[in-house]
Structure 1
Amino acid sequence: MTLRELARRLGVSPSFLSQIENGKSQPSVATLYSMAQTLDVSIDHLFEGTEAAAPAEPDVAAPDIAAPEEEPEPIRRSDLGSLEHVWEDSGSMGRLSVTSPGNRTRLVMDTGVVWEQLATNTAHQLDFIEIVYPPGSSSTNDERMLRHDGFEYGYLIEGELEVTFGFETFMLHAGESLGLNSSVPHLFRNLGTVPARGIWFVHHDHN
């Protein structure tokens, strides 16, 4: 079964499944259960480590091992635009959502920036996430400014972020918050030496 086919059966994106495979994202319990059922294995089996392979005998040629059909797809923030539709179970509107550290869906950008989903029952209208910008990181690798429909509201818990909004640039410090129209070109950069961490609420417009 290809990674893309498994992602289709689980109802998640191939890039999200690649990040689980590489330890960059944490699947929910529901996803683990669905994965175990689809692959016809126990959940415990998914956590089993692999034994170190014994070295091959010098005179015996190692068997050919087929390369993975699909390489992990890095998430390019420049191409992603809005957060809409990127989260697993983003269409859910359950009455209650509780998440805990280590058991949340995480998306790791090619810039090193990390988004962590704090609620799974927000459907496609909004996102409630934690963002972490490592030192020297930026919203995009190519310094391209982002724009998408909707509004963003953020509260910075730690560190500092340089915010470029249209033609204006300013520093957002820990304890400060902002609200911005996401259709205006914007860019975040961490110019400091410590991670910048904040809580973000993103509302998506629907025509």
Structure 2
Amino acid sequence: MARIGNKIRDLRRRRQLTIRELSLRSGVSHSTISLIEREKVSPSLNTLQAILDALGSTLVGFLHGVQLGSHSPFYRADELPEIGNVRGISYKLIGMSHPNRTLQFLKETYQVGADTGGQLSHEGQEAGYVVSGKIEVRAGSKTEVLGPGDAYYFDSREEHRFRNVGDEPAEIVSAITPPTY
């Protein structure tokens, strides 16, 4: 039986679409589609639905005959894919291959002066724990500089921003729900 990533790749190729074209049609990043097709990540239901809509397929039709397979609940350091490395910020995803994932769990590293830039906002909630360094977190109208052992939890629909204000890299372990990767 076909796996999800293989089936998506086959559908995309049958429709003669590149990954970038599918990304534009679905609103799902090309890197996420690539990871899904290579069986490196199990897509959330919303992500899978967006891709299938762009491919002109239905969820029921697509899932007919798909075998999800087994997975390990453990992830070694070299098994944490980098899902983004921009503006001096590294995002490593924990549990990427877990089927039907409802949580996005990240290890974030902010280089000195790194800043998410602009105000972010999206559906969901997020929480994090500062492991090392100093990070300025803005959530809505509130701003705090957090250090090792400090934490945050806020509604992601509030505009938010993260910035390393220390003189060493800052590390955060965070969770976002629903997952966007």
**Is residue 191 of structure 1 aligned with residue 165 of structure 2?**
yes
| Residue correspondence of structure 1 range 144-159 to structure 2 within 5 A | 144-159=118-133
The count of aligned residue pairs is 136
Over 3 Å counting, the alpha-carbon distance change for 1:5 and 1:17 in structure 2 is closer
CA distance in structure 2 between the partners assigned to 1:93 and 1:105 by the alignment: 20
1:103 and 2:79 matched: yes
Partner of residue 15, structure 1: 31
Distance 1:97 1:145, change over 3 A: same
Q: 1:125 deviation in Å?
A: 2.5
Q: Which runs of 5+ in 2 are unaligned?
A: 1-12, 23-27, 45-67
Does the C-alpha gap of structure 1 residues 190 and 5 become closer, same or farther in structure 2, counting only changes over 3 Å? closer
Contact 1:93 1:123 in 2 (8 A): no
- Residue number in structure 2 paired with 1:160: 134
C-alpha separation between the residues in 2 aligned to 1:99 and 1:90? 18
Classify 1:195/1:123 alpha carbon distance in 2 versus 1 (closer, same or farther; 3 Å): farther
Q: Give the aligned residue type for 2:93.
A: Q
* 1:43 aligned partner: none
Show structure 1 runs of 5+ residues with no match. 19-26, 35-86
Q: Secondary structure at the match of 1:198?
A: strand
Correspondence for 1:116 = 92
TM-score normalised per structure 1: 0.54
The equivalent position to 1:176 in structure 2, one of 114, 127, 150, is: 150
Look up the equivalent residue of 1:127 and give its one-letter code: Q
What do residues 113-162 of structure 1 show as CA deviations (whole Å, max 9, x unaligned)? Answer: 1111111226353211111111110112xxx1001111101011010100
- Give, in angstroms, the shift of residue 95 of structure 1: 6.5
Larger-Rg structure:
1
Task: Note closer, same or farther for the CA distance 1:155–1:93 as it changes in structure 2 (3 Å cut).
Answer: farther
Instruction: Answer whether contact 2:87 2:114 (CA < 8 A) is retained.
Output: yes
Identity %: 23
Note if contact 1:13-1:88 (Cα within 8 Å) is conserved in structure 2: no
Higher helix share: 2
Do the aligned partners of residues 17 and 148 (structure 1) sit closer, same or farther apart at CA in structure 2, a change above 3 Å counting? Answer: closer
- As a proportion of its length, which structure holds more strand? 2
Change (3 A) 1:133 1:122: farther
> Are residues 171 and 94 of structure 1, via their aligned partners in 2, closer, same or farther at CA, if it must alter by over 3 Å?
farther
Displacement after TM superposition at 1:13 (Å): 5.6
- Report the secondary structure of 2:149's partner residue: coil
